[in-house]
């Protein structure tokens, strides 16, 4: 009985090692393959956001949206107002 259990364990172990050898492992082999035109910095091609690097596009887009919201906030809340308050000392 013990020999049949050890034989089953060995069979399972060999099946496992064979299955793991069938898995394709490419690692970082595909990182050097470029598809399409090369990406450029946003300041080299400012009017063509389709050719910008992804991280530059994200930074410029978030900055633009932030400026838009901040400008809208300042527009609708009246912007900067000079309020002069008359500070009257409390009567003693």
DSSP secondary-structure letter at 51?
G
Residue 68 or 22, more confident: 68
Q: Please tell me the pTM assigned to this model.
A: 0.47
Q: What are the residue boundaries of the structural domains of the chain, listed by start?
A: 39-77
Which tokens sit at 22?
Answer: 């069938």
Dihedral of alpha carbons 17, 19, 22, 26, sign: negative
Strand, coil or helix: 78? coil
Cα 39 from Cα 55, distance rounded (Å): 11
Interval 15-61: pLDDT, tens: 766 656 666 666 655 555 567 788 888 889 889 988 999 999 999 99
Which tokens sit at 77?
Answer: 């809340």
Q: How many residues does the chain have?
A: 92
Interval 69-86: pLDDT, tens: 999 999 999 866 666 666
Residue 52: Cβ within 10 Å count = 21
């Amino acid at each position: 009985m013990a020999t049949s259990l050890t034989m089953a364990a060995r069979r399972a172990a060999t099946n496992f090692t064979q299955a793991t050898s069938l898995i394709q492992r490419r690692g970082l082999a595909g990182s050097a393959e470029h598809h399409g035109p090369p990406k450029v910095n946003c300041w080299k091609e400012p009017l063509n956001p389709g050719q910008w690097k992804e991280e530059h596009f994200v930074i410029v887009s978030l900055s633009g949206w932030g400026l838009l919201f901040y400008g809208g906030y300042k527009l609708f809340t009246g912007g900067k107002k000079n309020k002069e308050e008359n500070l009257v000392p409390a009567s003693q």
